[in-house]
Amino acid sequence: MPGRLTTRDAIAAAYGCGTFQGIEPADDAGKVFVYSDPSAGEEYGYTFDGRAEDDEFGPLYLYTGAGAKGDQKPSGRNGSLLTHAEKGREVHLFVAHGKVPGSGAMQQRYIGQMVVDPITPYEVRRGPGRDGVMRDVLVFRFRPAEGTTPAWTEADRMPAAAKSDVEITEPVVEVAEPVTLPKQSGAQVKKTEQHSTAETVADIPAGQRKVLRREGELVKAFVAHLTAAGHETHSFQITIKGEPGALTPDLYDATDHALYEAKGLTTRANVRMAIGQLADYRRHIPGRKELRVAVLLPSEPTEDVKDLLGEEYVELVYQTEDGGFAGWPLAYNQP
């Protein structure tokens, strides 16, 4: 039952899983247990775990994947989360909740059954490993399973960043696909947060998934286009002091000093959103006065939308029917 307190040992005794890792699959029981402890990340200088702000699909909980040193990979224990739906495994999230009275064991508060977001299963962030070396970190995105009222509280919200910072990252070029993994053993849970009303976000519309996948493929194709032209590309992780989470622009062309925001649909609403995102991002990018900003679209927009972009000094690049990119090279500099 969400909200109850237990221990890893008790869960292991009941389901035959491990007790030491943050992600513990229990094959025979058809479950994956996830244990979240935000204080553990703070020891290494990052705090990616916790209840994030709701988005258009509802409540969201972020969880840092497995791997203490080096770039984290979408395989092994991390892969057991990515493949939980296709393998019919339930994901159950727990968050550390102090010590057991009279014992050194950590109590675990059960948040409830989760599903990994089928549109964006994880985001790649930059953070230090146990050895202090910066590396890629997989931050999983959990949604409450259908019929679940999560037992998270305000204390489970992601902590605000202690300082502002900009880290170089790789662009997200496509929505992650599930991977096939060898059979694993073990089982445990992760972290979470809570609401006063029932919330269910188990089935995100297929149309939106298709749009975001199209957006990822668009960025992937444009990165290949820029690379073939000899351009260096990456992106940024922008941390804002006093705010949880991070801003993550789609693509930065270091050769042109140009920042791109991609959209999977060529609509006025999407373009307006991109203009606002670029205005926010550019405030934090080094050399912002010379920075060029552009919207990347899958097709040509209307003439009035083109005029809107021009008046906002946002350049336009869109994919043509033959797979090329109209509007590139960029035609002019920002004033």
d(CA 286, CA 168): 11
* Rounded Cα distance, 153 and 91, in Å: 19
Q: Are residues 255 and 196 in the same domain?
A: no
DSSP state of 66: S
Which runs of consecutive H residues, i.e. helices, occur in 68-134?
76-82
Q: Say what the pLDDT of residue 198 is.
A: 32
Model pLDDT for residues 226-251, shown as the tens digit of each residue: 999 999 999 998 989 988 888 989 99
Q: What is the pLDDT of residue 64?
A: 93
Q: What is the pLDDT of residue 42?
A: 66
pLDDT of res. 95: 95
d(CA 264, CA 219): 10
Does 174 reside within a domain? no
Q: What digits encode the pLDDT tens for the residues 172-188?
A: 544 444 333 333 333 22
Pairing, β 233-239 against β 165-169: antiparallel
In-domain check, residue 162: no
In degrees to the nearest 10, what's the CA dihedral of 251, 257, 258, 259? Answer: 40
Tell me which residue range forms the domain holding 152: 5-156+184-201
Is 173 contained in some domain? no
> What does the alpha-carbon distance between residue 232 and residue 254 come to, in Å, rounded to a whole number?
5
Residues 193, 212 within the same domain: no
Q: Is residue 175 part of a domain?
A: no
Do 252 and 122 share a structural domain?
A: no
Same domain, 75 and 224: no
Q: Is residue 122 part of a domain?
A: yes
Return per-residue pLDDT of the chain as tens, 335 residues: 888 999 999 999 999 999 989 999 999 999 999 999 987 766 665 678 999 988 878 899 999 999 988 999 999 999 999 999 989 999 999 999 988 888 878 899 999 999 999 878 998 888 888 888 888 899 999 999 989 999 999 999 988 887 888 888 876 544 444 333 333 333 222 322 333 333 334 455 556 667 667 888 899 999 999 999 999 999 998 989 988 888 989 999 999 999 999 999 999 999 999 999 999 999 999 888 899 999 999 999 999 999 999 999 999 999 999 999 999 999 864 44
| CATH code for the domain in which residue 105 is found | 2.30.280
CATH of the domain at 243: 3.40.1350.10
Domain identity same for 232 and 265: yes
- Same domain? For 234 and 142 the reply is no
In a domain, 220, yes or no: yes
Determine the pLDDT at residue 172: 53
Q: Quick one: 191 and 56 in the same domain?
A: yes
pLDDT of residue 171: 65
What is the rounded CA–CA span in Å between residue 121 and residue 130? Answer: 24
Query: Could you tell me the two tokens for 259?
Result: 């920042």
pLDDT value at residue 207: 65
Q: Are 9 and 19 in contact (CB under 8 A)?
A: yes
Q: Are residues 194 and 249 in the same domain?
A: no
- Answer yes or no: do 51 and 192 share one domain: yes
Q: Which are the contacts of 246, defined by CB distance < 8 A and separation ≥ 6?
A: 125, 161, 237, 238, 239, 240
Q: Are residues 59 and 130 in the same domain?
A: yes
* Whole-angstrom distance, CA of residue 99 vs CA of residue 227: 52
**Residue corresponding to tokens 């770039």:** 71
Same structural domain for residues 41 and 152? yes
Is 76 a member of any domain?
yes
Tell me which amino acid residue 324 is.
Answer: G
pTM attached to this predicted model:
0.69
| Burial class of residue 252 in the structure, from the number of CB atoms within 10 Å of its CB (0-12 exposed, 13-18 middle, 19+ buried) | buried
Check residue 192 and give its pLDDT: 27
Whether residue 285 contacts residue 307, with contact meaning beta carbons closer than 8 Å, is answered with no
Domain-embedded: residue 194: yes
Same domain, 272 and 134: no
Region of 287 (left: φ > 0; alpha: ψ -120 to 50; beta: rest) is left
Report the residue count for the chain. Answer: 335
Count other Cβ atoms within 10 Å, centred on residue 177: 9
The structural domain count of the chain equals 2
Q: How far apart are CA 183 and CA 129, in angstroms?
A: 27
